[in-house]
A and B are shown apart, each in its own frame.
Chain A
Amino acid sequence: MTSMKMLANLSRNARRLLAALSLVTLVASPALAQLNIEVVGAGMQRIPVAVPNFGGDEGLGREIAAVVRSDLTSTGLFNLVNTDGIVAEENSAVDFAAWRSRGADALATATAARPGGQIEVRVRVADIVKRGSLGNTVVTVPGNNARLAGHKVADFIYQKLTGQPGYFSSRIAYVLKQGNGPSAQFQLIVADADGQNPVAVFKYNQPIISPAWSPDGSKLAYVSFEKSKPVIFEQTLKTGARRAVASFRGSNSAPAWSPDGSRLVVALSREGGTQLYSISLASGQATRITNTSGIDTEPAFSPDGQWIYFTSDRGGSPQIYKMPAGGGGAQRVSFDGNYNVTARPSPDGRTLAFITRRDGGFRVATLDLATRQVTVLTDSQRDESPTFSPNGQMILYATILGGRGVLAAVSADGQIRQRLSAVNGDAREPAWGPNR
């Protein structure tokens, strides 16, 4: 079976099958766990795939294979076939009949090694049904980051089986709030896409909102209230170096990176009201790009850098508009309902994820920009801050569940649902970064 055929089968199954409740719970290295992905709904038939333990350095191989299985399972697209502790090197002969009898449609074999201060994984994906190879590659990561090696191997397998790039090697940022009132603490967390390896890159006793990844994943821009008002900071993740990039009189918020990383479009109130400005990161110069008496905020660039989507109440209710990236005439984009906000374009530029108010609830929806078809993807009450995975397949967002802030994800087609649970605090303001 070719990857495209598998994808076609997935789509057909997706159309055909309504969700039979299926439930998979993943727990990986709980000592470090802050968020854990639970697949709470998967509507389609899954591809059965076998990932036996990796050969070579078998201890390392077991560790990496566990990450790969966890990543693949978390998507809701795959069933991991029981491999009974079998070890299979990348170049070992494939016993197609034996794997077929175990129910596998696909098999990933790999060899792990630690040559010269890095991890190297040779991996091959085989089509068990058609008895052929789907491809092979070598993944290398510096240092001792076995989890990252596993995420990159999972990216490769995902691509071979679905035809889409994986997203497991990406990172997410989010804000964790602990406590209430004067004792509240806020942490800006960066974690692997599966919620593991959480690191608080900034923490303070004042709110943090609107984290945004630089296109290369090296920096975060975010809004901190540490100076009794919203100020936009830029922080380099590797060094922790941070600087205020918009600290004008009034409020400074809603940073959005241009795709080339050279500019931030932001919302400022320096001239009264809330208007959009484009700031050159090299010079610090801010140029006003909207000129209305109403609210213009929540900018987001189209992936080609040509357009800015934003929220405006110029028509009486908050709606999504778009305008040329340098400013100019704006066109209204959203029409259904009286509250449509927080537009975030998909990586291919064809879809907007946004928040719409329906029946009093704030819900994640998508808008197909070509057909204008709106699809409401959730039925929760307090959804916020949608953000696409780097491959556009998943939308991560914040919601309230049982009075607690949690992160959840839904596939862009609405078929698959995940929840990332934080136990000790409110998780909010997710932002999905690029693959590493």
Chain B
Amino acid sequence: MKLTVNGIGHEVESHGLQSLLYVLREELGITSPKAGCVQGGCGACTVLVDGEPRRSCLTPLAALNGAAITTLEGLGTPESLSVVQAAFHEQYGSQCGFCTPGMIVATTALLERTKKPTRHDIEQALAGHYCRCTGYVKIVASVEAAAGGAKK
């Protein structure tokens, strides 16, 4: 099975019903997608599959032949943060950090399809992402900052 992750091609060995989360974390050692609930509830394992946010814990490998996967690691580096990463950092949108990979990946997908999201758009895009620390206010502020709609 061929899988492209963050622009790098991999030949993966897991069986077809293995979850993408397992393949990324245990087979490829890409650990930003988190195993928060492993039942599709929390959003911490979210990655982009051909640009669309997907719960990697519920996505079987068999559904992904030839797909391009993007994880948080593929969006930017400490030396060169993406706009969304920089906004989450500057607006304190990340506290313990465990939900952050899913939040940033989902926000990146939102801003790809909607340059100027409304508050409602942001809430819809992040509705399936649990954060237990922030109370969400700073996360929404981070998304607004990334979209250029909020003061720094």
**Chains A and B form a bound pair:** no
A residues near B, CB below 8 A? none
